[in-house]
Amino acid sequence: MKFTSHAKDEMLYEESGEIYEMEIKETLAECEILEEYSGDKPYPSYLVFGRTRKQRPLHIVCAPVPEDEKLVIITVYQPNPELWIDFKRRKL
């Protein structure tokens, strides 16, 4: 995994508490794709949702880089329940 500087900042300053790399790995192990951003450059990216082992909900925007066999973490945050239904669908 490779983290953008934005992702690192979000992890450190998340208002619900710091997000650790291990939590991201736990979340990615069993996540579901919520949105696909196929037009993103230089690589398509995805918004995924999952939970850590301690059931902390996380949203991760990531982009697979096939030629490097890496996953770039663009941003990560704990979704606000006031903005999301079951953390999976945006409230209108």
Over residues 45-74, the mean pLDDT reads 96
- What's residue 57's pLDDT? 98
| Whole-structure pTM value | 0.93
**Rounded to a whole number, what is the distance in angstroms from the first to the last CA of the chain?**
33
Average pLDDT over residues 40-57: 96
Beta strands in 1-92 (DSSP E): 2-3, 32-37, 45-51, 57-65, 70-77, 84-85, 89-90
pLDDT value of residue 92: 83
Q: Where are the domains of the chain?
A: 2-90
> What pLDDT is recorded for position 38?
95
Name the average pLDDT for the chain. 96
User: How confident is the model over 15-27, as pLDDT tens digits?
Assistant: 999 999 999 999 9
